[in-house]
Chains A and B, each alone.
Chain A
Amino acid sequence: MAVMSSPERPSPLRFLWKPLEALMQAVLNTVEIPMRWAQRMLGQQKIAWVFLLPNLLIFGLFTYLPIGVNFLYATTGGTNLWPGDRPFLGMDNFEVLLDCENYLDPATCRRDLFWVAVYNSAQFVVLQVGFMVTFALITALILNRKIIGRGFWRSVFFYPVLLSPVVVALIWKWILQREGVLNAALVGLGADPVNWLLSPDWAFFWVVFVNIWFQMGFYTLILLAGLQAIPPDVYEAAEMDGTKPVRVFTRITLPLLMPTMIVVLVLALIRAVQAFDEIFVLTGGGPGSATMFIVQYIYETGFASQIQQFGIAAAASLLLAVVLFILTMLQLRATRRQMNG
């Protein structure tokens, strides 16, 4: 069979392909024996199930089964991991989490940290997504111009996306520490040094900033693809009519970019609600609980505290799931409305 060897078009991954080929040959021959038997038993079309089996098993075990078990945890108490050993509590865990005298003041809640985390997350989501999408749009508009070395500039803005959250947090921790380069610059300008990560407001600011720095390139790339998909003749027509530039932007660019914008917004929202890794390493949720967000609350309640309260953690994650579900539904509705015109 001629098709078998590595693909005809030059692929940058060819150097990976070659050494893998021996391994692939071995896999082919060993797996073929049971697969031929399965094909005889099931017939040509039903063998699709065999192809699907590994994936379905993994999704079943690690996604769908846990969803069910999550309800078991959320309705039981105690510190045992095995659901059978846990006393049934009904909706108690939810009541404990939602028990507040005044919902606007976390201090009056039984689980004050949960509500602190909820409000922190809400504030974070609004600020981070708002500023990030704005800057991503500006950057995409700039990269969409005919600039010298566009590929290079695109990489510059994209590069942080590839870094690991731990690395990102450490890079900024190093810059923001008391004797770091930022304070050196401040002192050089005649100002006083600031303990960036020890003041609640500044820590929150930097958490938002670092997240924007980290993820903006990804959304810039998607917006840039959206901008490049707008046909140029629309602009030419507008120019012939002598349309004012601002009007061109608000009446042509923005509406035509809207589907991409909505995808970007919702993706960014879903990620921001789940922000954890880089913040955990950068501030550990501190100072105090100033930068503690909802996923960290779940992690600490379930895994990192002395008494592992799986029930409360599971209940909190179900509440988070509701928020994420609503966001996803909004996305589906928005995209459908876009498609219907």
Chain B
Amino acid sequence: MADAALPVRRGVLGFLINARGARAGRLHWTDWFTYLYLGLGLIVMFGPVLWLVLSSFKTTGALEEFPPTFLPYGQAYAEVEGHADPLPLFTVTHEDGTQQVMAQIRRLGIVSQMVDPADPDAGWIRVPIDQRVPYREFHFAVENYTFLFDQFNFLRYFWNSVFITVVATLITLLFNAMAAYALAKYDFKGRMTIFIFIIATLMIPPTIVLVPTFLVVSEMGLLNNPWGVIWPAVATPTGVFLLRQYMLTIPDDLIDAARMDNASEWRIFWRIIMPLAAPALAVLAIFSIMWRWNEFLWPLIVLSRSETFTLQLALNSFQGDLLTQWNYLLAMTVLTLLPITLVFAFLQRFITTGIASAGVK
């Protein structure tokens, strides 16, 4: 290792610059601080997401418990002969100190009627409610998820989101690559002006043209239509810039050779430039997928009928509903973050290097 030849940097200097703080087996205080910070970071950055996922597997009863349990434990229920519905199980402490798991038939004030689930014929006994604690068992409430598919229009919202994300990303790649190619490989009057015209839109964030853009989209008859979300989004200054910079590095000889072979300009673009620009296209594709999947304010304005909602809008309206049950809301939140998490898990290196080099999000 090249590092071995250098003196080992230690202490504050070692911390502030790029160096290993200590030789094996001897940790300097800055190393302790580093790993303490990272550990805390892990809890703060990742803990909330983990908590969300764990909570989404809890039953309504378990969600209402305070203080909550860490893992999804739920109150256990048992089928008892002579009762139509399953009865909740409790651990009962008898007067003589023995404990027994019993099923509760009903609760009357501070007394509940309990029956032994193994021997229901023996009849019920009265137990003061402070003498019993819920009998819990480990239980993944998968029904939170299945409900979304059975009773709730989840697939509709999911499809709306997928449609907008995929179609907008494909068109973004095509349109931005075309513009980038024109700006990188052609010499025409006004090229610089057009380049500035496109890049200058970076300075005009969509939030300041909300009202007039709404007018344009509504005059085009695209309100409550996924295309009303797609069209305004498919030309991005970031994408044009990113692709143009990359295409500048493609040698002109390739294009000239293709022209010799009598290939049309479009064929050159499609068959030579696009494949060669694949790495940059991939970066833009990832950005575009993230942008479109997570977009909120613009769809909120354009899509007001619930059957056109994207997942983000459905989540928002679902959480604003007073009757909303957290168990379903949590499950839906998990399903919404799942696709992006999967993309990240597989393309992590790609995303982080892409963002670091392009400086955009």
Listed in ascending order, the chain A residues whose CB lies under 8 Å from chain B are: 1, 3-7, 9, 11-13, 16-17, 24, 27-28, 31-32, 35-36, 39, 44-49, 51-52, 54-56, 58-59, 61-70, 72-73, 81-83, 138-139, 141-142, 144-147, 151, 153-167, 170-175, 179, 181, 183-184, 187-188, 213, 217-218, 221-222, 224-225, 227-228, 232, 235-236, 239, 245-246, 248-249, 253, 263, 267, 270, 274, 276-277, 281, 295, 298-299, 302-303, 310, 313-314, 317-318, 320-321, 324-325, 328
A267 to B358, CA, bound (A): 13
B interface SS class: helix
With CB as the reference atom, state the residue of chain A lying closest to B177.
Answer: A51
- CB-defined contacts of A139 to chain B, threshold 8 Å: 37, 41
Known: A11-B282, A175-B51. A28 touches B267 (CB 8 A): yes
A61 to B218, CA, bound (A): 12
**B278 adjacent to A141 (CB under 8 Å):** no
* Among candidates B270, B290, B333, residue contacting A28 with C-beta atoms closer than 8 Å: B270
**B208 adjacent to A321 (CB under 8 Å):** yes
* Among candidates B41, B48, B175, B179, residue contacting A171 with C-beta atoms closer than 8 Å: B48
A166 to B278, CA, bound (A): 32
**B267 adjacent to A313 (CB under 8 Å):** no
- Tell whether B209 is near chain A: CB-to-CB under 8 Å: yes
With CB as the reference atom, state the residue of chain A lying closest to B66.
Answer: A179
Known: A1-B271, A3-B276. A13 touches B315 (CB 8 A): no
**A3 adjacent to B272 (CB under 8 Å):** yes
- CB-defined contacts of A270 to chain B, threshold 8 Å: 205
- CB-defined contacts of A62 to chain B, threshold 8 Å: 209, 213, 216, 231-232, 235
**A165 adjacent to B51 (CB under 8 Å):** no
For chain B, residues 89 to 130, give those with C-beta under 8 angstroms from any C-beta of chain A. Answer: none
A196 to B336, CA, bound (A): 25
**B270 adjacent to A302 (CB under 8 Å):** no
**B235 adjacent to A36 (CB under 8 Å):** no
- CB-defined contacts of B41 to chain A, threshold 8 Å: 139, 153, 156-157
CB distance from A293 to the nearest CB of B (A): 11
Q: What 1/0 mask marks residues of chain B from 157 to 201 whose CB sits below 8 Å from any chain A CB?
A: 000000000000000001110110111001110010010011001
A253 to B16, CA, bound (A): 8
Stretch at the interface among B80-88, B131-139, B340-348: B340-348
**B235 adjacent to A325 (CB under 8 Å):** no
Known: A55-B235, A281-B316. A159 touches B278 (CB 8 A): no
- Tell whether B15 is near chain A: CB-to-CB under 8 Å: yes
- CB-defined contacts of B258 to chain A, threshold 8 Å: 1
**A325 adjacent to B357 (CB under 8 Å):** no
- Tell whether B61 is near chain A: CB-to-CB under 8 Å: no
CB distance from A181 to the nearest CB of B (A): 6
**B209 adjacent to A70 (CB under 8 Å):** yes
With CB as the reference atom, state the residue of chain B lying closest to A16.
Answer: B285
CB distance from A166 to the nearest CB of B (A): 5
* Tally of contact residues, B, Cβ under 8 A: 119
A44 to B187, CA, bound (A): 10
* Among candidates A9, A159, A175, residue contacting B45 with C-beta atoms closer than 8 Å: A159
A-B CB pair tally, cutoff 8 Å: 341
Return the 6 tightest CB-CB contacts between A and B, nearest first: A66-B212, A69-B212, A164-B294, A184-B67, A48-B186, A35-B266
With CB as the reference atom, state the residue of chain A lying closest to B37.
Answer: A142
**B359 adjacent to A222 (CB under 8 Å):** yes
**A324 adjacent to B208 (CB under 8 Å):** yes
Stretch at the interface among B4-12, B71-79, B147-155: B4-12
With CB as the reference atom, state the residue of chain B lying closest to A281.
Answer: B316
- Tell whether B248 is near chain A: CB-to-CB under 8 Å: no
Q: What 1/0 mask marks residues of chain B from 307 to 344 whose CB sits below 8 Å from any chain A CB?
A: 00000100110010000001001100100110011011
With CB as the reference atom, state the residue of chain A lying closest to B281.
Answer: A13
**B207 adjacent to A295 (CB under 8 Å):** yes
Known: A55-B178, A159-B45. A28 touches B15 (CB 8 A): no
**B315 adjacent to A188 (CB under 8 Å):** no
* Among candidates A48, A67, A81, A146, residue contacting B18 with C-beta atoms closer than 8 Å: A146
Known: A73-B212, A303-B301. A54 touches B235 (CB 8 A): yes
- CB-defined contacts of B19 to chain A, threshold 8 Å: 145-146
- CB-defined contacts of B276 to chain A, threshold 8 Å: 3, 7
- Tell whether B293 is near chain A: CB-to-CB under 8 Å: yes
* Among candidates A175, A276, A318, A324, residue contacting B297 with C-beta atoms closer than 8 Å: A276
Q: What 1/0 mask marks residues of chain B from 258 to 295 whose CB sits below 8 Å from any chain A CB?
A: 11000111110111101110110010010000100110
**A174 adjacent to B55 (CB under 8 Å):** yes
**B188 adjacent to A63 (CB under 8 Å):** no
With CB as the reference atom, state the residue of chain A lying closest to B356.
Answer: A225
CB distance from B43 to the nearest CB of A (A): 10
Counting chain B CB atoms within 10 Å of each CB, the highest count among A63, A175, A298 belongs to A63
- Between A and B, 23 residue pairs with Cβ closer than 8 Å are A32-B264, A32-B267, A35-B264, A47-B186, A61-B231, A63-B201, A144-B18, A146-B20, A151-B348, A153-B41, A162-B340, A163-B294, A163-B337, A166-B315, A171-B51, A181-B51, A221-B355, A222-B356, A239-B9, A245-B13, A267-B359, A317-B210, A325-B203
**B344 adjacent to A162 (CB under 8 Å):** yes
- CB-defined contacts of A228 to chain B, threshold 8 Å: 18
A145 to B17, CA, bound (A): 7
* Among candidates A4, A69, A165, A246, residue contacting B215 with C-beta atoms closer than 8 Å: A69
